[in-house]
A = this chain, B = another copy of it.
Amino acid sequence: MSVPEPFGQRLRQSWARSDSALCVGLDPVRERLPSHLAQAPDPLFHFCREIVEATADLVCAFKPNIAFFNAEGAEGDLKRLIDHIHTAHPGVPVIIDAKRGDVGSTASMYARELFERYNTDAATVNPWLGWDSIAPFAEHEGRGVVVLCHTSNPSSAWLQEEPRGDPAYLKVAREMQSRDADNLALVVGATFPEQLAEVRRAAPTLPFLVPGVGAQGGGADELRQIFASGVDESGQGIVVNASRSIIYAGTGKAYAAASRQAAMGLRDQIRRARDRQQSD
């Protein structure tokens, strides 16, 4: 196998091709699936595949969340889904949300699982154990490593914003920036726009994966703030993730068409926020 291009490069190509900063998160819950799928074989695969087909031209990436597949024993569905994205939509990166954080031989096993077994382009990882826990992922040539810098949830500040003055999340941002690698990126939640601006100052070139838009709150104002203070020097650098607000936009047999409408609306809202920032 030839050495793949660095993840950062593939992400920039995807931004250029799609003209979109939207990432659709694939978090399928069996209880929320349309009834015609819930009773059929491999429901998680079929549900997500239809979402993928309905939105692939609107996104710069897909982000399946492994927890939702593991909870159902649906590893086969996850594998088929990722294979399908690569085959049907080559060039659209698959970022697996796994938030792994372990060291040494264990981290190598997770990297093997996420990058080799599932053949993903990038994975989210947790920095609590330090660089030991990130290195085994970063050593996989071409794959991306998306480090949890400042997450979008209410209790994120508890460790991430300590100590006041020189908080841990900025330490994470500076460290990842200092590695000068085109395969690192940061998770920075939409729900903390001031902190996102600080992270951009600390990490001027790293891509940000921004969760917390949509079901977790956020909206047009938040998107404008994110782009006003969060883009990199080229006006890019942002991947806005939305999961539930897209994949559960509709019910019944027309759910995928509703997902497309929701994704198109959010993509356009994101474009307006981005273009407004660029014209300012």
Complex Cα spacing A133 to B126, Å:
12
Complex formed: what's the CA distance from A127 to B65 in Å?
19
When distances are taken between beta carbons in the complex, the residues of chain B under 8 Å from A110 are 67, 70-71
A68-B109, A73-B75, A132-B156 given; name 14 further pairs at CB < 8 Å.
A65-B106, A67-B100, A67-B102, A97-B106, A103-B151, A103-B153, A104-B153, A126-B128, A129-B156, A130-B153, A130-B160, A133-B155, A163-B163, A168-B168
Cβ contacts under 8 Å, A100 to chain B = 67, 99
Residue of B nearest to A168 (CB): B159
| B75–A128 CB distance below 8 A | no
Q: Contacts A128-B148, A155-B131; is A70 near B109 (CB within 8 Å)?
A: yes
Question: How many of these chains are in the complex?
Answer: 2
| Minimum C-beta distance from A209 to chain B (A) | 14
With A102-B67, A112-B71, A113-B67: A155-B129 Cβ-Cβ less than 8 Å: yes
A residues lining the B interface (CB < 8 Å): 27, 29, 65, 67-68, 70-71, 73, 75, 97, 99-107, 109-110, 112-113, 117, 126-133, 148, 151, 153-160, 162-163, 166, 168, 171-172, 175, 244
Complex: A151 Cα to B73 Cα, angstroms: 29
Q: Given that A65-B106, A110-B67 are known contacts, is A130 also in contact with B117, CB under 8 Å in the complex?
A: no
A128 contacts B160, C-beta separation under 8 Å: yes
Kindly state the separation between the CA atoms of A117 and B70 in the bound complex, as whole angstroms. 9
Q: How far is the CA of A107 from the CA of B66 in the complex (A)?
A: 11
Q: Which of B73, B104, B127 contacts A159 (CB 8 A)?
A: B127
Q: Is the CB of A153 within 8 A of B168?
A: no
Please name all residues of chain B whose beta carbon is closer than 8 Å to the beta carbon of A131 when the two chains form the complex.
155, 158
For residue A148, which residue of chain B has the nearest CB? Answer: B128
Contact A101 B99 (CB under 8 A): yes
Q: Which residue of B lies closest to A103 (CB)?
A: B153
**Least distance between A259 CB and chain B CB atoms (Å):** 18
Shortest CB-to-CB span from A27 to chain B, Å, is 7
A155 to B66, CA, bound (A): 27
